[in-house]
Structure 1
Amino acid sequence: MVGTGLPDRAQYVIIGGGIVGCSVAYHLARLGHTDIVLLEQGQLSCGTTWHAAGLVGQLRSTPAMTNLIRYSTQLYSELEKETGLATGWMQCGSVTVARSDDRMTMLLRTAAAARAQGVDVDVITPGEARDKWPVMQVDDLKGGLWMPGDGKANPTDLTQSLAKGARRHGARIVEGIQVTDILTENNQISGVETDHGRIQAEVVVNCAGQWARRVGRMCGANVPLHSAEHMYIVTEQIEGVNPDLPVLRDPDGYIYFKEETGGLVMGGFEPEAKPWGMNGIPDNFFFQLLPDDWDQFEILMENALTRVPQMAQTGVREFYNGPESFTPDNNYLLGETPEVKNFFVGAGFNSMGIASAGGAGRALAEWIVEGAPTMDLFAVDIRRFADFNNNPTWLHDRVKEVLGLHYAMPWPNRELDSARPFRRSPLYDRLAAKNAVFGSKMGWERANYFAFEEGEKTEYGFGRQNWHEAVGAEHKAAREAVVVFDQSSFAKLLVQGKDACSQLNRICAGNIDVAPGRTVYTGLLNNRGGFESDLTVLRLKLDEFLIITGSAQAVRDTDWLRKNFEPDAHVFLTDVTSSWSVLSLMGPASRKVLASVTQSDLSNDAFPFGTVQKIDLGYATVLANRMTYVGELGWELIVPVEFTVGVYEDLMQAGEQHGIRDAGYYALEGLRIEKGFRAWSRELTPDITPLQAGLGFAVDFEKPCGFVGKEALLASKSDPKHLNTRIVQMVLQSGLPQLWGGESVLCNGSVIGEVRSAAYGHTLGAAVALVQVNASRKVTAEYLAENSWEIDLAGERHKASPYLRTPYDPHGARPRSS
């Protein structure tokens, strides 16, 4: 035993006694894992939890996240009965109102998404909104949404109830113990050091809230979050306010309201936040608040007086300014860190911790026990960030914007503006000089499109945005002439060693044991047969492979591969992303352009589709991979960074007579969706198998070594209901509407799925979508043909034609053309 009677060892040590830490302890114990010690440096809920507003809204940006919140609401409604401690949970519903036409359009889109995700929702008029929330004025409103399943809870009571439930199932919770160090051996957790002694542990879970970043640094793990001030007031009693009053959200005013003891809690998310704690969070910041800041709060107060005029004659009982932690993208951090084995994180909840804690605690507990996520958690997976995202100066500047995203208009393709430019390819300045309008992914500045006019910026909207025609021209050039995409943000992983082939082949669903010079498109599958990633494997030598994967996937894919390599295998993985640029030369004239700057033979016989060769290109020597993501003849040119500018200049000069032009990621997205190509985290998720995605051709069931997920996939093949879920392409029958993704899909008038990706298909002359259909029978071409299909676009239904195989070049002849 150590110090105050603590055990000297435990299977699980949880750091942090806020609502998330208590939820993880509760769910681990419910799973039968009772050797748990939760350590809280102060008292339970003393950090951020105690001053949280306690709002619980169900709908989130992805179905998986929505399901976690819905589990939270179910848990909170049942917890008091189990533990005997009140949670303050009340399913009072919520009203969200719109002041502008654009916001009303957004709410109509939200309603369609809610129906697709099985969440009860009603579109209501301003008068109906006032009936549900009588103390607000509605003269300036366009309408609203009513979500009866939403609610509110008392954060402190809820934490205590979860803690009692955890104790009843065997967990031990100790307050007043500070963790001073995280102990590791061979990059694996071995225990924690506390101010009362050492505890050996198999697993450590970092639920330290605002301190989570510092706790991560104790063992070299990146936990990118930063604190910001978050303010709300509690008013005196107001006539007409009663305990059954729903939660009210007025996002155009950046504000929310809930009832409390006959008055109102009013808070919000101002457009530009105040970061806090640049020099670290004090250890003893327990049950403390920051000074009142009425200047920062002014914009919220002004909007609140517009919505509830009675507040002008009502006193303020309390002003709460409690700091909370925010992440770079407004989603929380969950999962095992790639830096340290068995070190898990549940932190950075962006003012959504109360709503998220139930589901997030269960998901993290299952991840810990099973060794992998049991559902699609990519949106919150800590591996979506890299070490550079943990830079404190960058975090400080990004968090200023992130807090305001809660109620900012979620425009399609909205880009964050803060802390940019960040990562830049060698061509950044040249593309900027050609009117490139940049977006950002994994920190990379990437050309979204090339504007016709100098200085143009994206004008956001729910219809066609101002770049529609420019992207149409890029799209046309790719289909009819030739374009260059700067895809240097692709992640590149070099795998070497005498066991590289056998190890990769056991992990990849496709057969990558091919001759050097061959390229294989394949998936990485989990034990459920779902996608963990999709990527391209280039066999350069017998013992050397180059993996090309998505921009956001370097950390996650690296972690997945390394964890699946056998411990004694002779295999080495190196992230070489920064060493290579990728210039994709695509279009019918691509062979003519490339032939004019190389002496290599580019004919079909000498350079067939699906192969990679080292070729000369002007003065440079590059890897040319004959592959396409746009459905046209073309090569991905993998260029050493120092030669990138020269290669680009040679291509543009040689292509001038063929009408070459630069093209950006908006065109790339439209081209790939028009062709029906799937994308990771959109159509391909951990819950979707290759069979459901229509990618069975990329799986080799016969290879002798087998592959991760094979057993589950074989079982799926014999399951008659497995193909009731399919990824299907749909093309609107009208050429006018613009789809963006997230819309609901209807079969014979009933919601049956949702749009996963969408863009305007300039070749087909209409918006094109890749949708996930969840039917009651096997989804076949016959099934699609015999039913009527529509897509709900902000409350308007548009007829759509469904396809299992794209109508554009359905047999894939163009990329293989002579």
Structure 2
Amino acid sequence: MAKPQLPKSAQFVIVGGGIVGCSVAYHLTKMGHSDVVLLEQGQLSCGTTWHAAGLVGQLRSQPAMTNLIRYSTELYSQLEAETGLATGWKECGSVTVARTEDRMTMLMRTAAAARAQGVEVEVITPQDAQDKWPAMQVDDVKGGLWMPGDGKANPTDLTQSLAKGARMGGAKVIEGIKVTDILTEDGAVSGVVTDQGTIKAEVVVNCGGQWARELGKMCGVNVPLHSAEHMYIVTEKVEGVSPDLPVLRDPDGYIYFKEETGGLVMGGFEPEAKPWAMDGIPDSFFFQLLPDDWDQFEILLENALVRVPQMAEAGVRKFYNGPESFTPDNNYLLGEAPELKNFFVGAGFNSMGIASAGGAGRALAEWIIEGAPTSDLFAVDIRRFANFNNNPAWLHDRVKETLGLHYAMPWPNRELDSARPFRRSALYDRLAAKNAVFGSKMGWERANYFAFEGETPEIQYSFGRQNWHDAVAAEHKNTREGVSIFDQSSFAKLIVQGRDACAQLNRICAANIDVPVGHTVYTGLLNERGGYESDLTVLRLKDQEFMLITGSAQAVHDADWIRKNFDEDAHVFLTDVTAAWSVLAIMGPKSRAVLNKLTNADLSNAAFPFATVQEIDLGYATILANRMTYVGELGWELVVPVEFTVGVYEDIMRAGTEHGIRDAGYYALEGLRLEKGFRAWGRELTPDITPIQAGLSFVVDFDKPSDFIGKAALLTAKNDPDHLKTRIVQLVLDEGVPQLWGGEAVLNNGVEIGEVRSAAYGHTLGSAVALCQLDAPERITVDYVRAGAFEIDLAGVRYTATAHLRSPYDPKGERPKVDL
């Protein structure tokens, strides 16, 4: 077949002919867009796709991601009938086994989450597992999971079938053409330069796989991924292995198996990976493998022989060592790059490209056409990373760990250990000296808790109460009854200013931010569907100058989203000033007494009401004091210039000694906010959840003079009786001992109707407390909640829980406004 002629222009140019690029092309044409050109420097699937193992497991940790994979399985099962090209898709099911009690607990949690997400699953005995997979020995197996909807596919065949589907829809697929540059004009992509000519383009999609990072660098876009070696072997025939054999996963051994021509494909994800090509991926690395490395593979092979002893008698037909790209957090990269308009990325699939490609290709195509994601995709949104995450030395060290996360034990609150410490607040050394145990968020080192004197400052992971339970209880109690200080400097801070700043922000924010100077407004940023793109606090510092304080992980995302929604001709500017300001939250009923010793400012309710901000003196420093709370107590968030942070902290600790002040961390903060039922973005507040469903309609100003994004959708939702079939509800366990972590299934009258989105131990309430997303068959009214018999499935054990539509702690919200 002759190569298609290179067009001079196209609406959409996709760079990269692996399975993801072909899926994007396929879905764009399915949406009615035929002016699509896909460019592949070698042949389709020649980079990473061709040597992928082809496993397709449905369940992911987040429902939104599970939905994308489930769509993949539906697509793969129908594609051959549509295109006439085989895909090798086989719904053979999968068995996952546990060697330890902890892993079995994890599988029981997985089963509950699967049922809540509508994925068919069955907890099985070791004998059941062996019945489904006769070639394995199960003497050391505690049990397992059977997921009949999982399957496998032939990656190359699947890619060719998607490409043919794209061609049938009018797309041009051109192989043997190399992109040498990305053209830009006025902050937007304008085309690509190839070794065979230039193509003007309205949209360029970077699906370059291992080369995606280099393609991004051509136009100033950060694509943080790094290649690592990924190995598997194909054996000769093994007795008891048939074509219908399910996929087998043995995560405690870091290994997986699937059938291939009567033998086994056996591979895995070793705990410490081997990064590759620090100096760049060779351009002509097509259909190539790296040298065998039996030393690196040894840990996988040893575990495989434990699981399938017969492998010792089977010959090895082929050793595959094919590099793949991995990201800093083991989730792929999707979406429009914040640095360049109309330049989209679909890359970094972490050995999950075959399973993810169908759903990810559709999601990216929808994002391209609609101009925004059509569902909650923040887990894979490229805007969750910043430019510093593209540092090659940092990526190299982090990817050593993230490859192994596939089968590492997903402990609750598990922290990554590599490439740290990374970003440090001005107080890092002082907090470390006080036995702080740090976690990481957006690279920031943040104190999770403070270990008691004499204790080793480290987390001992478990699915029950962890070793920090009592230390956090003390921090929690001290905040409720006395005064604590939290270093929340990782908060992102954005300055918005210019003569149109107020008008522009008021259209972007759901609340009315046209308030007097010195007032503070909590608000959501909503999409056109009425769902949350973010929630943040707006401080009006001057008539046309506002400081926005948002979550640590949201700086790039929120700045990009706000800029994209400014009117093109508006006189308004946004600047990220996160690094210039620290945030010290001083919280608790004695907080005013401590601050009064350091300032001449009048901190009384009359002079300094709740939800206001003032510039005050504090010791030698001049700071912004914002009277807000995320813990449900009297307190101030002190926004402090970085150069004054240490002095302010030392002054506060001295002044607070007589009041019993102590440091507190993010674990205590989580328990405190959940007792109050305060929602958090990315957990309870997502692009698919509206303020009505979240119980936050009261912070939306439907009557403000200006329109706002999402208003029309919310007005429609108000009159839709089905809208409140989904709702965020607070549940408190009736029994005081169990520990909830999030992700557990919620049942009402014995039927799964939702999942726990956030959970912590509520030390004031004496029980675990959770915020849950319920998806019920009927409208979730007050009567529905009161009449329900709620339970939470904790690793197969159901615990009764009481539902609350108002916080059981200080339901009238009086404590933050006391005038002590």
Name 1:154's counterpart in structure 2.
Answer: 154
Name 1:398's counterpart in structure 2.
Answer: 398
Contact residue 4 and residue 173 of structure 2 kept, 8 A: no
Q: In the alignment, does 2:209 pair up with 1:209? A: yes
The number of residues matched between the two structures is 816
Inter-partner Cα distance in structure 2 for 1:363 and 1:310: 43
How far off is 1:455 after superposition?
Answer: 3.1
2:126 maps to a residue whose letter is P
Inter-partner Cα distance in structure 1 for 2:210 and 2:774: 40
Name 1:303's counterpart in structure 2.
Answer: 303
Name 2:815's counterpart in structure 1.
Answer: 814
Q: In the alignment, does 2:241 pair up with 1:241? A: yes
Inter-partner Cα distance in structure 2 for 1:713 and 1:211: 42
Name 2:107's counterpart in structure 1.
Answer: 107
Other structure's SS at 2:585 match = strand
Provide the alpha-carbon RMSD of the alignment: 0.7
How far off is 1:186 after superposition?
Answer: 1.3
Name 1:557's counterpart in structure 2.
Answer: 558
Q: In the alignment, does 2:160 pair up with 1:165? A: no
Name 1:340's counterpart in structure 2.
Answer: 340
Inter-partner Cα distance in structure 1 for 2:4 and 2:816: 70
Inter-partner Cα distance in structure 2 for 1:562 and 1:331: 25
Alignment of 1:799-810 (within 5 A): 799-810=800-811
Inter-partner Cα distance in structure 1 for 2:521 and 2:124: 52
Name 1:70's counterpart in structure 2.
Answer: 70
Other structure's SS at 1:317 match = strand
Inter-partner Cα distance in structure 1 for 2:256 and 2:423: 36
Superposed CA deviations along residues 245-299 of structure 1, whole A, max 9, x for unmatched, are: 0000000000000000000000000000000010000000000000000000000
Other structure's SS at 1:42 match = coil
Inter-partner Cα distance in structure 1 for 2:787 and 2:192: 62
Name 2:60's counterpart in structure 1.
Answer: 60
How far off is 1:597 after superposition?
Answer: 0.5
Contact residue 490 and residue 548 of structure 1 kept, 8 A: yes
Alignment of 1:86-165 (within 5 A): 86-165=86-165
Inter-partner Cα distance in structure 2 for 1:749 and 1:166: 45
Inter-partner Cα distance in structure 2 for 1:530 and 1:5: 44
Q: TM-score, normalised by structure 1?
A: 0.99
Q: In the alignment, does 2:544 pair up with 1:548? A: no
How far off is 1:780 after superposition?
Answer: 2.0
Superposed CA deviations along residues 135-169 of structure 1, whole A, max 9, x for unmatched, are: 00000010000000000000000000000000001
Contact residue 716 and residue 722 of structure 1 kept, 8 A: yes
Structure 2's unaligned 5+ residue stretches are none
How far off is 1:456 after superposition?
Answer: 2.5
Contact residue 481 and residue 660 of structure 1 kept, 8 A: yes
How far off is 1:693 after superposition?
Answer: 0.2
Name 1:46's counterpart in structure 2.
Answer: 46
How far off is 1:79 after superposition?
Answer: 0.1
Inter-partner Cα distance in structure 2 for 1:612 and 1:478: 22
Contact residue 233 and residue 319 of structure 1 kept, 8 A: yes
Superposed CA deviations along residues 485-508 of structure 1, whole A, max 9, x for unmatched, are: 000000000001000000000000
Inter-partner Cα distance in structure 1 for 2:152 and 2:365: 24
1:654 maps to a residue whose letter is A
Inter-partner Cα distance in structure 2 for 1:226 and 1:278: 8
How far off is 1:785 after superposition?
Answer: 1.1
Inter-partner Cα distance in structure 2 for 1:352 and 1:17: 16
Name 1:587's counterpart in structure 2.
Answer: 588
Q: In the alignment, does 2:788 pair up with 1:787? A: yes
1:487 maps to a residue whose letter is Q
1:219 maps to a residue whose letter is C
Contact residue 4 and residue 196 of structure 1 kept, 8 A: no
How far off is 1:239 after superposition?
Answer: 1.0
Inter-partner Cα distance in structure 1 for 2:465 and 2:367: 41
Alignment of 1:90-489 (within 5 A): 90-452=90-452, 453-489=454-490
Q: In the alignment, does 2:635 pair up with 1:634? A: yes
How far off is 1:778 after superposition?
Answer: 1.8
How far off is 1:779 after superposition?
Answer: 1.3
Other structure's SS at 1:393 match = helix
Name 2:714's counterpart in structure 1.
Answer: 713
Contact residue 781 and residue 803 of structure 1 kept, 8 A: no
2:577 maps to a residue whose letter is V
Other structure's SS at 2:656 match = helix
Name 1:748's counterpart in structure 2.
Answer: 749
How far off is 1:454 after superposition?
Answer: 4.5
Superposed CA deviations along residues 361-399 of structure 1, whole A, max 9, x for unmatched, are: 000000000000000001000000000000000000000
2:350 maps to a residue whose letter is N
Superposed CA deviations along residues 49-76 of structure 1, whole A, max 9, x for unmatched, are: 0000000000001000000000000000
Inter-partner Cα distance in structure 2 for 1:414 and 1:281: 32
Name 1:601's counterpart in structure 2.
Answer: 602
Other structure's SS at 2:408 match = coil
Name 1:762's counterpart in structure 2.
Answer: 763
Inter-partner Cα distance in structure 2 for 1:320 and 1:739: 41
Contact residue 4 and residue 172 of structure 2 kept, 8 A: no
Inter-partner Cα distance in structure 1 for 2:291 and 2:370: 44
Other structure's SS at 1:790 match = strand
Name 1:625's counterpart in structure 2.
Answer: 626
Other structure's SS at 2:256 match = strand
Inter-partner Cα distance in structure 1 for 2:401 and 2:214: 22
Superposed CA deviations along residues 196-225 of structure 1, whole A, max 9, x for unmatched, are: 010000000000000000000000000000
Inter-partner Cα distance in structure 2 for 1:104 and 1:498: 60
Superposed CA deviations along residues 613-651 of structure 1, whole A, max 9, x for unmatched, are: 000000000000000000000000000000000000000
Other structure's SS at 1:475 match = helix
Inter-partner Cα distance in structure 2 for 1:191 and 1:52: 31
Q: In the alignment, does 2:648 pair up with 1:686? A: no
Superposed CA deviations along residues 297-327 of structure 1, whole A, max 9, x for unmatched, are: 0000000000000001110000000000000
How far off is 1:776 after superposition?
Answer: 1.9
Contact residue 226 and residue 275 of structure 1 kept, 8 A: yes
Inter-partner Cα distance in structure 1 for 2:768 and 2:5: 66
1:303 maps to a residue whose letter is N
Inter-partner Cα distance in structure 2 for 1:683 and 1:816: 25
Contact residue 254 and residue 268 of structure 2 kept, 8 A: yes
1:183 maps to a residue whose letter is L
Structure 1's unaligned 5+ residue stretches are none
1:564 maps to a residue whose letter is N
Inter-partner Cα distance in structure 1 for 2:4 and 2:730: 62
How far off is 1:558 after superposition?
Answer: 0.2
How far off is 1:4 after superposition?
Answer: 7.6
Classify 1:798/1:454 alpha carbon distance in 2 versus 1 (closer, same or farther; 3 Å).
closer
Contact residue 23 and residue 361 of structure 1 kept, 8 A: yes
Identity %: 79
1:683 maps to a residue whose letter is E
Inter-partner Cα distance in structure 1 for 2:259 and 2:33: 39
Contact residue 189 and residue 341 of structure 2 kept, 8 A: yes
How far off is 1:593 after superposition?
Answer: 0.3
Superposed CA deviations along residues 790-818 of structure 1, whole A, max 9, x for unmatched, are: 00000000000000111100010000111
Other structure's SS at 1:773 match = strand
Inter-partner Cα distance in structure 2 for 1:45 and 1:15: 12
Contact residue 236 and residue 317 of structure 1 kept, 8 A: yes
Contact residue 630 and residue 675 of structure 1 kept, 8 A: yes
Inter-partner Cα distance in structure 1 for 2:320 and 2:298: 14
Other structure's SS at 1:275 match = coil
Superposed CA deviations along residues 114-149 of structure 1, whole A, max 9, x for unmatched, are: 011000000000000000000000000100000000
How far off is 1:187 after superposition?
Answer: 1.3
Superposed CA deviations along residues 88-113 of structure 1, whole A, max 9, x for unmatched, are: 00000000000000000000000000
Moved over 6 A (4+): none
Q: TM-score, normalised by structure 2?
A: 0.99
Contact residue 177 and residue 195 of structure 2 kept, 8 A: yes
Contact residue 189 and residue 204 of structure 2 kept, 8 A: yes
Inter-partner Cα distance in structure 2 for 1:39 and 1:441: 37
Name 1:659's counterpart in structure 2.
Answer: 660
Other structure's SS at 1:509 match = coil
Name 1:735's counterpart in structure 2.
Answer: 736
Contact residue 15 and residue 205 of structure 1 kept, 8 A: yes
